[in-house]
């Protein structure tokens, strides 16, 4: 960083107002602002206000709405004087929008102009999908096999992988499902189809291999379907540990032999030039703060529009982070059927949460609140900005695999690793993740690009954060510039020319299935 950057970075008190209708703004300065500080518009802070927290731009009377993003994020429980720190405790949260009175596909954005000529280097699969990495994935039917399989995978990495330099890695698709579960329960299809669709992820090259125990409830045929073009079942693809006649050493030997047969095939693959339309980008945020909706998420939204214009598939998710802004999404749905599918997913999730006597407000974390997000309404309005400005073209249920192109709502919980797992099942071949508080999050099956909402985080964690979107808050970059930077970076990472920090350090969170069905 040069001197000019430093001066701009630690400059006089600054705040950002996102919409002319807003009566609060967000403090930008790394160290916050002290009582008595005056902003460029003449507003004086009447008390100290931390970075990313809100300052009242006008006197707000008790009962009046507090507006951010031009939307109501709460109602003042008491008078909030101009220049004071707007705290969560001063706000009454609005009720979630009723699902039976939503605008349905009545403000569909016009189709964006096509963006042609962009490509990346990827691995073309037999079913037409494209991988951004060339990974051997080993599926499992049940948690019982995890210890043995992880032992075998460690040996595969150490003893076999060096001989197959075109293979990027070996991943055991382990999980906690498979037995001790109500396999015929109404919602059991969600974890079952997730296990199946994880194995069909484009980054795994269609090489089917399943390790089972033998006596479990989830049977291998539910994980690998016959006549499925996305997996190759022409040679033996299943090994059950209970078929072993002599124990552990034989199990390891069998798994290693099955793995090596596939490493030979994967190693023969080469990248080829494919259109950018083959990207399936999954977008997520975690450890959000009040900057998420100002810097990183708008930049992702801009890049999402570019990808959609290039014909790609863009997934956004996180049910509890779109619920309060659902009226803005149903209006943008391409057709009434897409709007109805959005409502169906929200309604299902409302009832799922209600079973646990919870609602969407259970989403916000202590870190979110420390980062200036007063409630889930404010968090949602900042979260959906990731989806850009285009029409919503489709909706996926949890664990469902994507078929169409364009902007797709992939219904998942907001939990980082559950959402990541479900987006991998949807077919995501590249992941982008925005964070304000900071997380080392990563996935084994797809590259994860981490985008910081604030420069302070990007500078403090230079070996974990790939892109600094805080440049938008400090005026060093526009949303448009950062959006284009992201778009080009997506293509570089997808091509394998660039590795993300999570890849370089091999930071891999567990696959975590979403299992709303009972455990027995
Ligand atoms: Ca998340």
Kindly give the distance from the C-alpha atom of residue 415 to the centroid of ligand 1, in angstroms, as a whole number.
5
- Expressed in angstroms and rounded, the spacing between residue 322 Cα and the centre of ligand 1 is 11
Rounded distance from Cα 2 to ligand 1 centre (Å): 34
Q: How far apart are the C-alpha atoms of 314 and 308, rounded to whole Å?
A: 7
Answer yes or no: is pLDDT of 51 > 70.
yes
Q: pLDDT-based confidence at 10, cuts 50/70/90?
A: low
Cα–ligand 1 centroid distance for 96 (angstroms): 20
DSSP letter at 301 equals H
Q: What is the distance in A from the centroid of ligand 1 to the CA of 54?
A: 23
Cα–ligand 1 centroid distance for 441 (angstroms): 10
Ligand 1 center to residue 117 CA distance, Å? 32
pLDDT computed for residue 293 by the predictor:
92
pLDDT beyond 70 at 216:
yes
Ligand 1 centroid to Cα of residue 398, in Å, is 14
∠ CA 120-127-237, nearest 5°, is: 115
**CA of residue 245 to ligand 1 center, whole Å:** 45
d(CA 334, CA 299): 23
Fold of 1-92: 2.30.130
List, in sequence order, every beta strand (DSSP E) within 149-293: 169-173, 210-212, 238-240, 272-275, 280-285
* 128 Cβ neighbours under 8 A, 6+ residues apart: none
CA of 318 from ligand 1 middle (Å) equals: 6
pLDDT in tens, 71-110: 999 999 999 999 999 999 999 999 999 999 999 999 999 9
User: What confidence score (pLDDT) does residue 117 get?
Assistant: 97
Asked: is 121-267 a CATH 2.60.40 domain? The reply is: no
- The CA distance from 155 to 120, in Å, is 33
Burial 337-370 (b: 16+ CB within 10 A, else e): ebbbbbbebbebbbeebeeeeebbbebbeebbbe
442 φψ region: left (φ > 0), alpha (ψ -120 to 50), beta (else): beta
Q: Mean pLDDT over residues 372-401, rounded?
A: 95
Nearest alpha-carbon partner for 28 in 472, 477, 377, 478: 472
Q: Strands 135-140, 169-173: parallel, antiparallel or unpaired by DSSP?
A: parallel
Residue 397 alpha carbon to ligand 1 centre in Å: 17
Helix axes 189-199, 416-426, angle to 10 degrees: 60
The model's pLDDT over 224-265, given as tens digits with 9 standing for 90+, comes to 999 999 999 999 999 999 999 999 999 999 999 999 999 999
Mean pLDDT for 289-302 is: 94
Length of the chain: 520
Quick one: pLDDT band at residue 290, thresholds 50, 70, 90?
Answer: confident
Q: Rounded to the nearest whole angstrom, what is the distance from the C-alpha of residue 169 to the centroid of ligand 1?
A: 25
Q: How many CB atoms lie within 10 A of CB 443?
A: 26
Q: What is the mean pLDDT of the chain?
A: 95
Q: Give the Å distance between the CA of 489 and the centre of ligand 1.
A: 22
Give the distance (Å) from ligand 1 centre to CA of residue 77.
Answer: 30
User: What integer pLDDT is reported at residue 146 of this predicted model?
Assistant: 98
* Measured distance CA(283)–CA(167) in Å, rounded: 26
What pTM was computed for the model?
A: 0.95
pLDDT exceeds cutoff 60 at 4: no
Cβ pair 318, 469 in contact under 8 A: no
pLDDT of residue 289: 87
pLDDT greater than 60 at residue 46: yes
- What the block records as the tokens of 409 is 């709502």
Q: How many CB atoms lie within 10 A of CB 462?
A: 10
Q: What is the pLDDT of residue 287?
A: 87
Contact indicator for 466, 93 with CB cutoff of 8 Å: no
How far apart CA 278 and CA 402 sit, in angstroms, is 12
CB 441 within 8 A of CB 282: no
Any idea where the domains of the chain sit in the sequence? 1-92, 121-267, 278-505
DSSP assignment letter at 497: S
The band of 189, judged by pLDDT with boundaries at 50, 70 and 90, is very high
Ligand 1 centroid–CA 434 distance in Å is: 9
CA–CA–CA angle 222, 224, 229 (5° rounding): 135
Q: Are 421 and 413 in contact (CB under 8 A)?
A: no
How much is the average pLDDT of 327-342?
Answer: 98
Q: What is the DSSP string of 3-31?
A: HHHHHHHT-S--EE--STT-SEEEE--TT
Q: What is the 219 CA–ligand 1 centroid distance (Å)?
A: 31
Query: Rounded to the nearest whole angstrom, what is the distance from the C-alpha of residue 305 to the centroid of ligand 1?
Result: 21
């Amino acid at each position: 960083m040069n001197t000019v950057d430093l001066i701009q970075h630690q400059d006089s008190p600054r705040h950002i107002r996102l919409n002319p209708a807003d009566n609060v703004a967000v403090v930008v300065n790394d160290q916050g602002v002290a009582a008595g500080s005056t902003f460029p518009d003449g507003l004086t802070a009447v008390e100290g206000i931390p970075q990313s927290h809100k300052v009242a731009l006008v006197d707000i009377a008790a009962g009046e709405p507090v507006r951010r993003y031009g939307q109501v994020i709460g109602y003042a429980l008491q008078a909030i004087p101009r220049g004071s720190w707007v705290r969560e405790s001063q706000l009454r949260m609005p009720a979630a929008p009723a699902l039976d009175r939503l605008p349905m596909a009545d403000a569909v954005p016009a189709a964006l102009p096509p963006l042609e000529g962009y490509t990346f280097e990827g691995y073309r699969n037999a079913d037409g999908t494209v991988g951004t990495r060339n990974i051997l994935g080993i599926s499992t039917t049940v948690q019982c096999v995890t210890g043995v399989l992880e032992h075998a995978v460690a040996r595969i990495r150490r003893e076999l992988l060096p001989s197959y330099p075109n293979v990027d890695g070996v991943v055991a698709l382990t999980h906690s499902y498979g037995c001790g579960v109500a396999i015929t329960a109404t919602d059991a299809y969600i974890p079952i189809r997730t296990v199946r669709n994880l194995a069909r992820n484009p980054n795994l090259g269609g090489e089917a291999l399943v390790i089972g125990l033998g006596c479990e409830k989830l049977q291998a045929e539910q994980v690998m379907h016959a006549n499925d073009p996305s997996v190759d079942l022409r040679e033996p693809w299943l090994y059950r540990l209970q078929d072993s006649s002599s124990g552990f050493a034989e199990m390891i030997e069998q798994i290693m032999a099955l793995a090596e047969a596939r490493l030979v095939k994967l190693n023969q693959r080469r990248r080829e030039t494919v259109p950018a339309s083959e990207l399936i980008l999954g977008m997520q945020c975690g450890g959000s703060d009040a900057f998420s909706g100002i810097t990183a998420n708008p930049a992702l939204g801009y890049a999402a529009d570019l990808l959609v214009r290039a014909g790609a598939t863009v997934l956004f998710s996180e049910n509890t982070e779109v619920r309060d802004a659902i009226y803005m999404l149903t209006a943008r749905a391409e057709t009434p059927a897409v709007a109805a599918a959005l409502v169906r997913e929200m309604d299902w999730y409302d009832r799922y949460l209600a079973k646990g006597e919870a609602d969407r407000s259970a989403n916000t974390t202590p870190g979110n609140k420390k980062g200036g997000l007063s409630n889930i309404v404010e968090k949602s309005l900042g979260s959906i900005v990731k989806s850009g400005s285009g029409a919503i073209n489709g909706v996926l249920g949890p664990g469902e695999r994507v078929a169409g192109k364009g902007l797709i709502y992939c219904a998942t919980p907001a939990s980082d690793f559950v959402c990541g797992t479900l987006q991998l099942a949807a077919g995501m071949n590249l992941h982008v993740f925005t964070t304000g508080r900071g997380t080392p999050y990563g996935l084994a099956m797809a590259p994860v690009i981490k985008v910081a909402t604030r420069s302070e985080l990007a500078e403090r964690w230079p070996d974990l954060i790939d892109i600094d979107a805080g440049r938008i808050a400090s005026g060093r970059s526009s949303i448009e510039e950062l959006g284009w930077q992201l778009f080009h970076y997506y293509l570089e990472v997808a091509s394998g020319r660039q590795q993300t920090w999570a890849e370089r350090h091999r930071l891999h969170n567990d696959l975590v299935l979403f299992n709303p069905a009972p455990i027995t």
